[in-house]
């Protein structure tokens, strides 16, 4: 179908379910065990309703903000997802970079350590030099690989390191486990390079099982401190799921956290990040830890209204994973740009109706929070 027929992010998902290979669909759409957290991530947004303010001049809506000290045109970003070539075999993550630069608003892109394309290729695919790119880091048991990688992406112009800490191993995603996966043919670029997979065919049950091998399950807060020594880039911890850990991250000098349960792909029955956000921000503010410390959130965000709700509760930026994978798989860079336009439009429309002129205006007073914790 023509791209014009896509009206919202769910349309990309429906189309992807029809056209993707069984393998790509299983890897992209799956989540852990009974997929309770996958559903809950989005459902939690349904428990938040708005309290609009009227008689506010909303002729112009300003979506600009700052993330990690850099100006951005919108308060959302494309988060890291591995193996983009399963859905877009030729261009993979490069088309995400292009889409992020082609849309009428520039959008930051976080590149996965387990991407199908190298950080060099993705940096080169930028359409505009001021496009923001961040690097998502999995710490390898060989710390030399990690040190070299961090130095390398810093040189390439990536502007932050997001260390993922919710995946000491990959969760049990049963749809994915049912499908055979060849690391040699389909594995991430970095495994082929560092583990010299080119000539040793390895076949696993599903993609995630193969990817676990790259990650060190023994990392602790000590490794975060080590990382701070090897890079000047802002370090953000991705995959935090409780208030206490957010406070710890701020206290050890990180630049931020992503409240995330990996899109429901890790521990099933993890709580929805939006709930964790609601109980975290008041405590951070009380302790004066919310300055120069950005709280991001991802998981289940599909509409402009979802983004607005997270911003009202104090998120600095909001990440989307699967919707961009599906848009990229169905239409390549144009699909990615279209997803950005749709989200931008939805945000503008809803902010006008809410009576909020800019991102700065958004606060808790716009939300009815009474049902959020009633599951
Ligand atoms: C992911 N996610 C992820 N996170 C990460 O830190 N490194 C990675 O390599 C990946 N890979 C990955 C692959 C696929 C197919 C998915 C769906 C997700 C998690 C991702 O960054 C993010 O936390 C979730 O995708 C957010 O949830 P939604 O937006 O997909 O609901």
Report whether residue 238 contacts ligand 1, using a CB cutoff of 6 Å. Answer: yes
* Mutation choice for ligand 1 from 16, 29, 36, 79, CB with most ligand atoms inside 8 A: 79
Report whether residue 299 contacts ligand 1, using a CB cutoff of 6 Å. Answer: yes
pLDDT at 207: 77
pLDDT at 199: 63
* Mutation choice for ligand 1 from 262, 274, 317, 339, CB with most ligand atoms inside 8 A: 262
Strands (E), 168-242: 180-182, 203-205, 235-240
- In this structure, are residues 353 and 308 in contact, taking their beta carbons and an 8 Å threshold? no
pLDDT at 178: 82
Report whether residue 273 contacts ligand 1, using a CB cutoff of 6 Å. Answer: no
Ligand 1 atom 19: residue of nearest CA: 262
Among candidate residues 46, 104, 262, 292, the one labeled active-site is 262
C-alpha span between 174 and 102 (Å, rounded): 36
**Ligand 1 centroid to 52 CA: how many Å?**
32
**Ligand 1 centroid to 373 CA: how many Å?**
25
C-alpha span between 43 and 273 (Å, rounded): 11
Report whether residue 338 contacts ligand 1, using a CB cutoff of 6 Å. Answer: no
C-alpha span between 262 and 348 (Å, rounded): 28
C-alpha span between 180 and 224 (Å, rounded): 35
Smallest CA-to-CA distance from 94 within 60, 122, 119, 70 is with 122
C-alpha span between 175 and 270 (Å, rounded): 19
pLDDT at 196: 64
- In this structure, are residues 369 and 56 in contact, taking their beta carbons and an 8 Å threshold? no
Q: Which numbered atom of ligand 1 lies nearest the CA of 263?
A: 27
Give the pLDDT confidence of 79-123 residue by residue, as tens digits.
Answer: 999 999 999 999 999 999 999 999 999 999 999 999 999 999 999
Strands (E), 209-255: 235-240
Q: Which numbered atom of ligand 1 lies nearest the CA of 258?
A: 23
Ligand 1 atom 18: residue of nearest CA: 81
**Ligand 1 centroid to 225 CA: how many Å?**
24
* pLDDT per residue as tens, the chain (375 positions): 999 999 999 999 999 999 999 999 999 999 999 999 999 999 999 999 999 999 999 999 999 999 999 999 999 999 999 999 999 999 999 999 999 999 999 999 999 999 999 999 999 999 999 999 999 999 999 999 999 999 999 999 999 999 999 988 888 888 888 887 777 778 889 887 787 666 667 777 777 777 877 888 999 999 999 999 999 999 999 999 999 999 999 999 999 999 999 999 999 999 999 999 999 999 999 999 999 999 999 999 999 999 999 999 999 999 999 999 999 999 999 999 999 999 999 999 999 999 999 999 999 999 999 999 998
pLDDT at 198: 61
DSSP letter at 270 equals P
Compute the chain's Rg from CA coordinates: 20
262 is a catalytic site residue: yes
Smallest CA-to-CA distance from 299 within 273, 325, 271 is with 273
Ligand 1 atom 6: residue of nearest CA: 164
C-alpha span between 136 and 14 (Å, rounded): 28
Q: Which numbered atom of ligand 1 lies nearest the CA of 302?
A: 29
Report whether residue 27 contacts ligand 1, using a CB cutoff of 6 Å. Answer: yes
Q: Which numbered atom of ligand 1 lies nearest the CA of 322?
A: 30
Smallest CA-to-CA distance from 177 within 214, 208, 212 is with 208
User: Which residues does 135 contact at the CB level (< 8 Å), separation at least 6?
Assistant: 110, 111, 113, 119, 150, 153, 158, 160, 161, 162
**Ligand 1 centroid to 351 CA: how many Å?**
27
């Amino acid at each position: 179908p023509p791209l014009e027929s896509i009206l919202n992010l769910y349309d990309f998902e429906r189309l992807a379910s029809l056209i993707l290979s069984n393998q790509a669909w299983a890897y992209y759409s799956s989540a852990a065990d009974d997929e309770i957290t996958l559903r809950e991530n989005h459902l939690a947004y349904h428990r938040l309703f708005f309290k609009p303010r009227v008689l506010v001049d909303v002729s112009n809506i300003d979506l600009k903000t700052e993330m990690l000290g850099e100006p951005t045109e919108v308060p959302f970003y494309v988060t890291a997802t591995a193996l983009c070539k399963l859905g877009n075999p030729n261009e993979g993550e490069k088309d995400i970079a292009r889409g992020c630069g082609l849309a009428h608003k520039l959008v930051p892109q976080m590149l996965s350590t387990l991407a199908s394309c190298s950080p060099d290729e993705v940096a080169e695919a930028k359409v505009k030099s001021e496009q923001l790119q961040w690097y998502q880091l999995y710490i390898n048991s060989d710390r030399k690989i990690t040190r070299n990688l961090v130095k390398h992406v810093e040189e390439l112009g990536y502007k932050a390191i997001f260390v993922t800490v919710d995946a000491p191993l990959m969760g049990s995603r049963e749809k994915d486990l049912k499908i055979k996966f060849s690391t040699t043919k389909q594995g991430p670029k970095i495994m082929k390079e560092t583990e010299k997979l080119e000539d040793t065919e390895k076949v696993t049950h599903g993609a995630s099982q193969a990817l676990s091998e790259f990650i060190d399950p023994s990392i602790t807060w000590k490794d975060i401190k080590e990382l701070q020594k090897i890079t000047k880039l802002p370090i953000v911890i991705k995959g935090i799921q409780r208030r206490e850990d957010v406070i710890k991250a701020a206290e050890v000098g990180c630049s931020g956290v992503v409240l995330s349960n990996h899109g429901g792909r890790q521990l099933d029955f993890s709580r929805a990040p939006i709930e964790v956000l609601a109980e975290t921000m008041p405590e951070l503010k009380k302790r004066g830890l919310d300055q120069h410390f950005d709280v991001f959130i991802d998981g289940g965000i599909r509409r402009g209204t979802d983004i607005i709700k997270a911003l009202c509760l104090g998120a600095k930026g909001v990440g989307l994973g699967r919707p961009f994978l599906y848009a990229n798989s169905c239409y390549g860079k144009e699909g990615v740009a279209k997803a950005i336009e749709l989200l931008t439009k939805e945000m503008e429309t809803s902010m006008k109706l809410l009576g909020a002129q800019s991102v700065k205006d958004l606060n808790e007073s716009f939300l009815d929070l009474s049902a959020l914790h009633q599951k």
